[in-house]
Chain A
């Protein structure tokens, strides 16, 4: 073990890649024993007084000992920590100062490199964080520049993709009921750039969602759970407002910004393309932020009010959904319900002048019956 080489020796007649050698420190100096076959057994003794000490190597992490020998200048590169410690123990006092200076230089290089990387990491993090949090204005600006047609195309492809795998309810009381609700709500939207399309999908999932561009899906599970048409209309109004406020687009732009930054940092353009593709899928599970939910709640409430649909149905339904945890309440997982949210809506409603609601033209009980819910489910 002690005979395996532990350092590289450089010199005029030695190979450029360095001659592997075994270095030992003694009381007066060091002994270099060459390990390569052509020079096997040859050794040189160097007194400490002849040595100069510095650091070298790619990362300034090797201890360099130089001296002028019989065969010209020699340089010894040591990187083994034990060997360097052994040098420090046996070296005489006059070498301590240059040794400490060399060690300080090595530490300085390491520290400086760490600092530079720290600053770079900090800047990258700050940029990402800035894009994510403080960049709302930037996101809003970007979203403003995206035409509704583009948004519609994006939503449409995801919508078609999704529906291709679903059992769609094409006609019947449930479909006409949802269409009537949508019509009454949409009529109240001034300068509406979207052509809203609502599809009823047969599924026990208690959920409804909106895609950018005005594509809305209502699951029959949600309709079965609702005891009045106003409750479903409330959910619809909330979802319509996600579209109108372009919440989906905002999320995508935000996410894209982060991904782009990350891809630039890691130089992985393929990853960027892959992630772009994923957005089509992610549109389905797109979670909106808390502010976006609140905004959709409040504007949804106003829209219901303008359409003269009783908004208390919406509030009551939200509360009921949050209390009971039966079945698959998926609307809750994407729309986390808090008591504060319902309270806020109640307060908002109380501040509005009293409303005389206009009833729907259909019987809700008949709609539910068509979905297979037996009539005595009345509360």
Chain B
């Protein structure tokens, strides 16, 4: 499996080359095009109950697609739904990433994906819901974001503060606490930064340069209201 980002920027696409017999999993609906040697299958990762819990709890799609080069080598084109960058990570079998529910685009068949319950405070205030994806194993992982992806490297005990709705993925070796952005409740809400996450290294945090919820709120004012 070899992957390459085409048209980097706001509207990128990933080309994944598969050797005969190789397969990848992708978010359902992510496929844009493929060689005729590629077979598309829906697969419920983690069995029916696993898939159901992922659908109900994380809001992530019920099925992942499996794209298999069953009849010879070929290539697949994948793209996310929202405008925004794509990043390719190589998982080494030791590193694990926590990924917010919309961040997963595709991955090698050898990576593992599970829904994980967050702590109550993080789930309530963190902005990515009570359940997130924990992705580990060995192989390529392709993430997408809303806006550009920015990578923050944290050395041991180094801290960084991120607005809660800008998180895409972070290594499992980091930890974070939810905090109010400013002292005093009033200031917290009036500053527009209700809650923030204080990350603590070591590890890597991927953030997105746009906030999907904020964008939704902004665009809502232009949508004509019927009646």
Contacts and interface: CB of A to CB of B under 8 A. Distances in A.
Contacts of B94: 5-8, 18, 20
Contacts, number: 78
Interface string A253-275: 00000000000001110000000
Interface in A1-45: 4-8, 10, 12, 15-18, 20, 35-36
A56 B119 contact: no
A241 interface: no
Contacts of B117: 117
B161 interface: no
B4 interface: no
Contacts of A219: none
B21 to A, nearest CB: 23
Given A10-B155, A35-B92, A62 B173 contact: yes
A8 B95 contact: yes
B129 A16 contact: no
A1 B69 CA distance: 29
B173 A56 contact: yes
- Contact residues on B (Cβ < 8 Å of other chain), bracket: 20 to 34
Contact of B156 (A5, A20, A73, A79): A73
A35 B170 CA distance: 22
A57 B173 contact: yes
A10 B156 contact: yes
B119 A18 contact: no
Nearest to B116: A59
Interface string B156-175: 10000000000000111111
B153 A16 contact: yes
A16 B173 contact: no
B11 interface: no
A64 to B, nearest CB: 8
Interface stretch (B33-41, B181-189, B201-209): B201-209
Nearest to B129: A267
Contacts of B95: 8, 17-18, 20
B19 interface: no
A267 B173 contact: no
A74 to B, nearest CB: 8
B155 A77 contact: no
Given A8-B95, A8-B173, A57-B172, A116 B120 contact: yes
A75 interface: yes
Nearest to B152: A16
Contacts of A5: 92-94
B202 A10 contact: yes
Contacts of A8: 94-95, 173
B154 interface: yes
B6 to A, nearest CB: 25
A36 B93 CA distance: 12
Which of A17, A62, A113, A267 has the most chain B CB within a 10 Å cutoff? A17
Which of B59, B117, B171, B176 has the most chain A CB within a 10 Å cutoff? B171
Nearest to B138: A4
Interface in B88-115: 92-95, 98
A287 interface: no
A57 B95 CA distance: 11
A116 B119 contact: yes
B98 A58 contact: yes
Contact of B172 (A58, A120, A268): A58
Interface residues of A, number: 32
Contacts of B129: 267
Contacts of A88: none
Interface in A219-242: none
B57 interface: yes
Given A10-B202, A16-B204, A268 B56 contact: yes
Nearest to B200: A56
A58 B175 contact: yes
Nearest to A6: B94
Contacts of B119: 59, 113, 116
Contacts of B59: 267
B170 to A, nearest CB: 8
B120 A77 contact: no
A259 to B, nearest CB: 14
A60 interface: yes
B93 A58 contact: no
Interface in A36-86: 36, 56-60, 62, 66, 73, 75, 77, 79
A249 B175 CA distance: 50
Contact of A66 (B57, B93, B153, B156): B156
A77 B202 contact: yes
A20 B90 CA distance: 12
Given A16-B204, A17-B171, A117 B120 contact: yes
B120 A16 contact: no
Contacts of A7: 94
Interface of A: 4-8, 10, 12, 15-18, 20, 35-36, 56-60, 62, 66, 73, 75, 77, 79, 113, 116-117, 120, 266-268
6 contacts: A5-B94, A17-B171, A36-B92, A58-B98, A58-B174, A117-B120
Interface of B: 56-57, 59, 92-95, 98, 117, 119-120, 129, 153-156, 170-176, 201-204
Given A18-B95, A18-B203, A59-B175, 10 more contacts: A6-B94, A8-B173, A18-B171, A57-B174, A58-B176, A66-B156, A75-B202, A79-B172, A116-B120, A267-B129
Pick the 7 closest A-B CB pairs, nearest first: A16-B153, A10-B202, A75-B156, A17-B204, A20-B92, A116-B120, A20-B94
